[in-house]
Amino acid sequence: MSAVNTFEDFLANQAPQIDVGQFVLNLGTAGVLAGLMALLYSRWGRGQSHRTLFAGNFFLLTMTTMLVISVVKSSLALSLGLVGALSVVRFRTAIKDPEELSFLFLSIAVGLGLGADQRPVTVIGLVVILLVYALLKVRGGGASRPGALYVHLSKLAQFSVPELEAVLATHSRRVKIKRISEGEAVFLVETSSTENLEKMRQGLKEKLPGVQMLITEYQDLA
Protein backbone atom coordinates (compact mmCIF):
# COMPACT_ATOMS: atom_id res chain seq x y z
CA MET A 1 0.00 0.00 0.00
CA SER A 2 1.40 3.37 -1.03
CA ALA A 3 1.98 6.26 1.34
CA VAL A 4 -0.63 8.29 -0.56
CA ASN A 5 -3.33 5.63 -0.04
CA THR A 6 -2.39 5.31 3.60
CA PHE A 7 -2.75 9.04 4.13
CA GLU A 8 -6.07 9.08 2.26
CA ASP A 9 -7.37 6.23 4.42
CA PHE A 10 -6.22 8.10 7.52
CA LEU A 11 -8.21 11.16 6.48
CA ALA A 12 -11.25 9.14 5.47
CA ASN A 13 -11.37 7.15 8.69
CA GLN A 14 -10.98 10.13 10.96
CA ALA A 15 -14.27 11.06 12.60
CA PRO A 16 -14.54 13.86 15.16
CA GLN A 17 -15.60 12.52 18.54
CA ILE A 18 -17.40 15.31 20.42
CA ASP A 19 -18.78 14.93 23.91
CA VAL A 20 -22.17 16.58 23.62
CA GLY A 21 -22.36 17.35 27.33
CA GLN A 22 -18.99 19.09 27.32
CA PHE A 23 -19.90 20.90 24.11
CA VAL A 24 -23.11 22.29 25.62
CA LEU A 25 -21.25 23.34 28.76
CA ASN A 26 -18.56 25.09 26.74
CA LEU A 27 -21.16 26.78 24.57
CA GLY A 28 -23.02 28.07 27.61
CA THR A 29 -19.77 29.28 29.15
CA ALA A 30 -18.94 31.07 25.90
CA GLY A 31 -22.28 32.88 26.04
CA VAL A 32 -21.76 33.92 29.68
CA LEU A 33 -18.21 35.18 29.04
CA ALA A 34 -19.32 37.03 25.91
CA GLY A 35 -22.08 38.66 27.96
CA LEU A 36 -19.50 39.76 30.53
CA MET A 37 -17.35 41.30 27.80
CA ALA A 38 -20.40 43.01 26.27
CA LEU A 39 -21.42 44.40 29.66
CA LEU A 40 -18.03 45.96 30.35
CA TYR A 41 -17.64 47.32 26.82
CA SER A 42 -21.14 48.83 26.87
CA ARG A 43 -20.24 50.50 30.16
CA TRP A 44 -16.74 51.78 29.44
CA GLY A 45 -16.08 51.46 25.70
CA ARG A 46 -14.90 54.54 23.85
CA GLY A 47 -17.72 54.48 21.30
CA GLN A 48 -20.75 56.44 22.41
CA SER A 49 -23.49 55.83 19.84
CA HIS A 50 -23.07 52.15 18.98
CA ARG A 51 -21.40 50.49 21.96
CA THR A 52 -24.33 48.18 22.75
CA LEU A 53 -24.79 47.30 19.08
CA PHE A 54 -21.10 46.54 18.64
CA ALA A 55 -20.95 44.56 21.90
CA GLY A 56 -23.64 42.23 20.52
CA ASN A 57 -21.03 40.90 18.08
CA PHE A 58 -19.09 39.36 20.97
CA PHE A 59 -21.72 36.64 21.42
CA LEU A 60 -21.69 35.59 17.78
CA LEU A 61 -17.91 35.75 17.40
CA THR A 62 -17.10 33.93 20.65
CA MET A 63 -19.63 31.13 20.21
CA THR A 64 -18.90 30.67 16.49
CA THR A 65 -15.16 30.42 17.12
CA MET A 66 -15.80 27.90 19.88
CA LEU A 67 -18.06 25.84 17.58
CA VAL A 68 -15.49 25.79 14.77
CA ILE A 69 -12.62 24.75 17.02
CA SER A 70 -14.75 22.06 18.70
CA VAL A 71 -15.58 20.50 15.34
CA VAL A 72 -12.16 20.65 13.66
CA LYS A 73 -9.84 19.93 16.61
CA SER A 74 -10.21 16.14 16.31
CA SER A 75 -10.09 15.91 12.54
CA LEU A 76 -7.08 16.72 10.39
CA ALA A 77 -9.25 16.63 7.26
CA LEU A 78 -11.64 19.23 8.66
CA SER A 79 -8.72 21.36 9.83
CA LEU A 80 -7.24 21.40 6.34
CA GLY A 81 -10.66 22.19 4.90
CA LEU A 82 -11.03 25.09 7.31
CA VAL A 83 -7.73 26.57 6.15
CA GLY A 84 -8.90 26.40 2.57
CA ALA A 85 -12.27 27.93 3.39
CA LEU A 86 -10.77 30.83 5.34
CA SER A 87 -8.33 31.58 2.55
CA VAL A 88 -11.20 32.89 0.39
CA VAL A 89 -12.80 35.01 3.13
CA ARG A 90 -12.30 38.75 2.84
CA PHE A 91 -13.26 41.14 5.62
CA ARG A 92 -14.18 44.52 4.13
CA THR A 93 -14.99 46.47 7.29
CA ALA A 94 -11.99 48.29 8.73
CA ILE A 95 -11.67 48.36 12.52
CA LYS A 96 -10.00 51.68 13.30
CA ASP A 97 -10.31 51.77 17.07
CA PRO A 98 -7.66 49.62 18.81
CA GLU A 99 -10.05 49.03 21.72
CA GLU A 100 -12.68 47.50 19.41
CA LEU A 101 -10.02 45.34 17.79
CA SER A 102 -8.80 44.22 21.22
CA PHE A 103 -12.28 43.08 22.25
CA LEU A 104 -12.78 41.22 18.98
CA PHE A 105 -9.44 39.48 19.47
CA LEU A 106 -10.39 38.69 23.07
CA SER A 107 -13.67 37.15 21.85
CA ILE A 108 -11.75 34.94 19.44
CA ALA A 109 -9.29 33.95 22.18
CA VAL A 110 -12.15 32.92 24.48
CA GLY A 111 -13.73 30.88 21.70
CA LEU A 112 -10.42 29.16 20.97
CA GLY A 113 -9.84 28.33 24.62
CA LEU A 114 -13.30 26.89 25.18
CA GLY A 115 -13.23 25.04 21.87
CA ALA A 116 -10.00 23.37 23.01
CA ASP A 117 -11.68 22.37 26.32
CA GLN A 118 -9.42 24.70 28.33
CA ARG A 119 -12.31 26.06 30.37
CA PRO A 120 -10.61 26.92 33.72
CA VAL A 121 -7.67 28.68 32.06
CA THR A 122 -9.96 30.59 29.70
CA VAL A 123 -12.32 31.75 32.45
CA ILE A 124 -9.50 32.83 34.77
CA GLY A 125 -7.64 34.59 31.97
CA LEU A 126 -10.70 36.52 30.82
CA VAL A 127 -11.71 37.55 34.34
CA VAL A 128 -8.21 38.89 35.06
CA ILE A 129 -8.09 40.80 31.75
CA LEU A 130 -11.51 42.37 32.32
CA LEU A 131 -10.65 43.28 35.91
CA VAL A 132 -7.54 45.10 34.69
CA TYR A 133 -9.61 46.82 31.98
CA ALA A 134 -12.26 47.93 34.47
CA LEU A 135 -9.60 49.16 36.92
CA LEU A 136 -7.92 51.25 34.24
CA LYS A 137 -11.24 52.73 33.17
CA VAL A 138 -12.31 53.57 36.72
CA ARG A 139 -8.97 55.16 37.58
CA GLY A 140 -8.96 57.08 34.30
CA GLY A 141 -12.54 58.31 34.66
CA GLY A 142 -13.63 56.29 31.64
CA ALA A 143 -17.28 56.24 32.68
CA SER A 144 -17.65 60.00 32.24
CA ARG A 145 -15.63 60.36 29.05
CA PRO A 146 -17.79 61.43 26.11
CA GLY A 147 -15.03 60.83 23.58
CA ALA A 148 -14.29 62.63 20.33
CA LEU A 149 -16.96 64.96 18.98
CA TYR A 150 -17.74 67.10 15.97
CA VAL A 151 -18.70 70.65 16.94
CA HIS A 152 -20.54 72.32 14.05
CA LEU A 153 -21.01 76.07 14.53
CA SER A 154 -23.32 78.02 12.24
CA LYS A 155 -24.77 81.54 12.00
CA LEU A 156 -21.40 83.06 12.77
CA ALA A 157 -21.60 86.71 11.78
CA GLN A 158 -18.06 87.70 12.68
CA PHE A 159 -15.47 85.39 14.14
CA SER A 160 -11.79 84.59 14.14
CA VAL A 161 -10.41 81.08 14.06
CA PRO A 162 -8.02 81.65 17.01
CA GLU A 163 -10.92 82.96 19.10
CA LEU A 164 -13.03 79.89 18.40
CA GLU A 165 -10.10 77.57 19.07
CA ALA A 166 -9.39 79.34 22.36
CA VAL A 167 -12.96 78.88 23.61
CA LEU A 168 -13.05 75.22 22.58
CA ALA A 169 -9.58 74.45 23.95
CA THR A 170 -10.48 75.85 27.38
CA HIS A 171 -12.60 72.80 28.15
CA SER A 172 -11.14 70.25 25.71
CA ARG A 173 -8.09 68.06 25.56
CA ARG A 174 -7.62 68.44 21.82
CA VAL A 175 -9.03 70.67 19.11
CA LYS A 176 -8.66 70.29 15.35
CA ILE A 177 -10.14 72.41 12.53
CA LYS A 178 -12.09 70.32 10.02
CA ARG A 179 -13.85 72.91 7.87
CA ILE A 180 -14.19 76.70 7.74
CA SER A 181 -16.61 78.48 5.42
CA GLU A 182 -18.68 81.66 5.33
CA GLY A 183 -20.75 81.80 8.48
CA GLU A 184 -19.90 78.31 9.75
CA ALA A 185 -17.07 76.24 11.17
CA VAL A 186 -16.56 72.59 12.07
CA PHE A 187 -14.10 71.45 14.72
CA LEU A 188 -13.09 68.05 15.99
CA VAL A 189 -12.67 68.12 19.78
CA GLU A 190 -12.10 65.67 22.60
CA THR A 191 -13.50 66.51 26.02
CA SER A 192 -12.80 64.76 29.32
CA SER A 193 -16.37 64.83 30.69
CA THR A 194 -19.94 65.89 29.97
CA GLU A 195 -19.48 68.74 32.45
CA ASN A 196 -16.67 70.20 30.34
CA LEU A 197 -18.83 69.78 27.26
CA GLU A 198 -21.55 71.90 28.86
CA LYS A 199 -18.98 74.52 29.93
CA MET A 200 -17.70 74.66 26.37
CA ARG A 201 -21.23 75.20 25.07
CA GLN A 202 -21.88 77.99 27.56
CA GLY A 203 -18.56 79.62 26.70
CA LEU A 204 -19.42 79.70 23.02
CA LYS A 205 -22.84 81.20 23.77
CA GLU A 206 -21.25 83.96 25.82
CA LYS A 207 -18.53 84.76 23.29
CA LEU A 208 -20.76 84.46 20.23
CA PRO A 209 -24.42 85.31 20.99
CA GLY A 210 -26.83 83.84 18.45
CA VAL A 211 -24.50 81.08 17.33
CA GLN A 212 -26.05 77.70 16.64
CA MET A 213 -24.11 74.64 17.72
CA LEU A 214 -24.57 71.01 16.67
CA ILE A 215 -22.54 68.32 18.46
CA THR A 216 -22.18 64.83 17.00
CA GLU A 217 -19.94 61.93 17.87
CA TYR A 218 -16.73 61.17 16.05
CA GLN A 219 -15.04 58.11 17.43
CA ASP A 220 -11.57 58.36 15.90
CA LEU A 221 -9.93 61.65 16.80
CA ALA A 222 -7.00 62.07 14.41
Closest listed residue to residue 103, CA positions, set 47, 155, 147, 48: 47
Mean pLDDT by 10 residues, the chain (222 residues): 55 64 92 94 72 86 89 68 58 70 91 91 95 86 60 74 78 78 80 75 77 70 43
| Beta bridge partner(s), residue 214 | 152
The sign of the dihedral angle between the CA atoms of 77, 79, 80, 81 is: positive
Tell me the C-alpha distance between 15 and 77, whole Å: 9
- Domain boundaries along the sequence of the chain: 3-143, 146-217
| CATH fold for the domain made of 146-217 | Alpha-Beta Plaits (3.30.70)
Pairwise CA distance, residues 221 & 70, whole Å: 40
Query: How far apart are the C-alpha atoms of 123 and 126, rounded to whole Å?
Result: 5
| Helix (H) or strand (E) segment spanning residue 7 | helix 3-13
pLDDT at position 106? 94
Contact status, residue 211 vs residue 39, Cβ threshold 8 Å: no
Rg of the chain (C-alpha set): 25
pLDDT at site 143: 45
**Closest listed residue to residue 121, CA positions, set 29, 23, 56, 20:** 29
Cβ neighbours, 10 Å, residue 159: 17
Distance CA 169, CA 133 (A): 29
Q: Kindly provide the residue ranges of all beta strands, DSSP E only, lying in 132-172, ordered along the sequence.
A: 147-154
